[in-house]
Chains A and B, each alone.
Chain A
Amino acid sequence: MTTSEMLGKVLSDLGRIGEVEACAIATRDGLLMEANMSTRGDPETFVAMSATMLGAAETATSELEKGIPKRVIVEADDGKLICMGAGPKALVVAMTAPEVGLGLVLVELAKAAEKVEKLLS
């Protein structure tokens, strides 16, 4: 299996927990590596924005010496977006329906992030 296929598996596992509607893996600097988002939107733009968001959040908190944030969660009327670093090179981002409780998603996303980090190291 190529690295690309292995990352694809991580995403399809993540997509299998019902709450996750779309997810993607990208480099920290905003290039798409793998996406699992059916026909929803434009994955390249989606991950570029996610990377900027996470990077901006990390800069904002570390400027205040509050350390690096574990994740960025965005709550919108029609859904939630969770963005999480996966090692120094990559990040994982997932989208859920608005009413979803985040407990399981956060646990699974953290697991996915850990796997991605190991796959890329």
Chain B
Amino acid sequence: MMKTGIPTLDDHLHGGVPQGKSLVYYAHPGVECNVFGMQTVHRAVSEGGHGIYVTSSTDPRMIRDQFKEFGWDAAEYGDRFVIVDGFSGLIGADSPEQYVVSNPDDIESLTQSIKQAMEGAYEPSVIVFESLSTIMDLCGEDETLDAIKEWNKYAMLYDHVVVYNFTAWPYSEDTLAHVKGDICNSVILIGGITEKVIFGQYFGVKKIDWDEITKKCVLFKVLKPGGIRVYLPKILVTGPFDAGKSTFVHALSTRAVSVDRLGTTVALDHGHVDHRGFAADIFGTPGQQRFDPIVKLLSGEAMGIFLILDSANTDDFVRARQMLDITETVGLPVVVVANKQDIAGALTPEEIRKELKMTNDIPVMPAVASSREGVFEAFDVMVERVLEANSR
């Protein structure tokens, strides 16, 4: 199995792409697509594998710069990373690359170079096409479709994995149907959401022929450096006064800001989390009753809620339940964080569950936010819940 390196996608593919199979990143115009192929080849090479990158619309030097922008240094990969240069020939430039396509607008010439690269690889590799759409524009749609079949067959022979970046410009219906349908072993759809108020980008598995499809679409965001992250645009952190909400937001975040006066949050805490392939924006609400209108304002469109509690302060538990009601987010995943586990008189998570009269399906996670204990465990549970809730 060859991992794609895209967070959660390898799970959806049941472990990755089997050797000898092909995959298309099928993107709607206007959505970032090339980074998918780049991240996949980076993953393979950084794990000690071999990668071949077929460039068609970008100068190989620029390609290396693009990798660098994500924090991936192609020079470190040495000869395990090879570029098939299908660009320099277009502008008549010299190329220092090992494989250079002499006539990039002639499919035969391209096929020849690709076959050479496939034969020349020491071991099964990942071959990523920077832009299948550019090849179609240069060589023609039908010619390219025929060539893909040939490349895939050849890759199968050598146990290579082939990955195509494809942007669905208005080609003929037939062409799009083939790319989306029968021509490759798996298809990952990459699209944008514009109907709703949130503007986001998502990906999801459209087809795999080696296992069952799990129909899950996840939102993603591209970080520089970093690459693709599964993205949760809004996770709410709420709870009674002095439960440690701001501390929790800061403990979890790579960077965060707070609007607090005299130690009390008066507007909100806002933080970015980047953890194990997941990125999230975290909104912490004020806890005191007089700020309730702000809590209501901030809670719209949240994907999940952390309810933070001071484990020793049972008097505030009624208020905690009340705050959940204020957020008007019935049905969203809730994770209760039993904070301040280190102080005297702290109840255990189970005691807290009983005290709050929470059902068993709501997780209660122990934490000490001030020393970051348990905060990422709580975040992991939240991510799991949110993904589950959105796959239904």
Q: A interface vs B, CB < 8 Å?
A: 2-5, 27-31, 33-34, 42, 44-45, 48-49, 51-53, 55-56, 59, 89-90, 120
CB contact under 8 A between A49 and B270, given known A27-B300, A29-B297, A55-B294: yes
State whether A2 touches B197 (Cβ < 8 A): no
CB contact under 8 A between A33 and B268, given known A28-B300, A48-B283, A52-B294: no
A-facing residues in B28-77 (Cβ within 8 Å): 30
User: In the complex, what distance in Å separates the CA atom of A34 from the CA atom of B192?
Assistant: 14
B residues less than 8 Å from A30 (CB atoms): 234, 268, 283, 297-298
Would you call B198 an interface residue if the criterion is a C-beta within 8 Å of the partner chain's C-beta atoms? yes
Would you call B225 an interface residue if the criterion is a C-beta within 8 Å of the partner chain's C-beta atoms? no
Would you call B301 an interface residue if the criterion is a C-beta within 8 Å of the partner chain's C-beta atoms? yes
Chain B residue with minimal CB distance to A120?
A: B197
State whether A59 touches B267 (Cβ < 8 A): no
State whether A56 touches B294 (Cβ < 8 A): yes
In the complex, besides A52-B268, A52-B294, 19 extra interface pairs with C-beta distance below 8 angstroms are A3-B194, A3-B199, A27-B198, A29-B298, A29-B300, A30-B234, A30-B283, A31-B281, A33-B197, A44-B270, A44-B272, A49-B257, A49-B259, A51-B298, A52-B297, A52-B298, A56-B294, A59-B294, A89-B197
28 contacts between A and B (CB under 8 A): A2-B192, A2-B194, A4-B30, A4-B192, A4-B199, A29-B301, A30-B234, A30-B283, A30-B297, A30-B298, A31-B197, A31-B301, A33-B199, A44-B270, A45-B257, A48-B268, A48-B281, A49-B267, A49-B268, A49-B270, A51-B298, A52-B298, A53-B267, A55-B293, A55-B294, A56-B293, A56-B297, A120-B197
CB distance from A57 to the nearest CB of B (A): 11
B residues less than 8 Å from A48 (CB atoms): 268, 270, 281, 283
Would you call B246 an interface residue if the criterion is a C-beta within 8 Å of the partner chain's C-beta atoms? no
State whether B293 touches A2 (Cβ < 8 A): no
CB distance from A41 to the nearest CB of B (A): 10
State whether B30 touches A5 (Cβ < 8 A): yes
Q: Flag B278-308 by CB within 8 Å of A: 1 or 0 each.
A: 0001010000000001100111110000000
What is the predominant secondary structure among interface residues of chain A facing chain B? helix
Number of residue pairs A-B, CB distance < 8 angstroms = 75
State whether A31 touches B234 (Cβ < 8 A): yes
A residues less than 8 Å from B272 (CB atoms): 42, 44
| Residue from B197, B268, B294 within 8 A of A27 (CB atoms) | B197
B residues less than 8 Å from A44 (CB atoms): 270, 272, 281
- Chain B interface extent, by class: 20 to 34
A-facing residues in B243-296 (Cβ within 8 Å): 255, 257, 259, 267-268, 270, 272, 281, 283, 293-294
Chain B residue with minimal CB distance to A55?
A: B297
A residues less than 8 Å from B294 (CB atoms): 52, 55-56, 59
Would you call B233 an interface residue if the criterion is a C-beta within 8 Å of the partner chain's C-beta atoms? yes
B residues less than 8 Å from A2 (CB atoms): 30, 192, 194
User: In the complex, what distance in Å separates the CA atom of A53 from the CA atom of B294?
Assistant: 9
| Residue from A3, A34, A52 within 8 A of B267 (CB atoms) | A52
A residues less than 8 Å from B257 (CB atoms): 45, 49
Going nearest first, the 9 A-B pairs with the smallest beta carbon separation are A29-B300, A55-B297, A59-B293, A52-B267, A3-B194, A48-B270, A2-B194, A45-B270, A4-B199
Chain A residue with minimal CB distance to B30?
A: A2
User: In the complex, what distance in Å separates the CA atom of A3 from the CA atom of B197?
Assistant: 10
CB contact under 8 A between A31 and B297, given known A4-B192, A49-B270, A89-B197: no
CB distance from B249 to the nearest CB of A (A): 12
CB distance from B282 to the nearest CB of A (A): 10
User: In the complex, what distance in Å separates the CA atom of A105 from the CA atom of B288?
Assistant: 37
User: In the complex, what distance in Å separates the CA atom of A52 from the CA atom of B296?
Assistant: 11
User: In the complex, what distance in Å separates the CA atom of A31 from the CA atom of B235?
Assistant: 11
Chain B residue with minimal CB distance to A54?
A: B297
State whether A90 touches B283 (Cβ < 8 A): no
User: In the complex, what distance in Å separates the CA atom of A55 from the CA atom of B297?
Assistant: 7
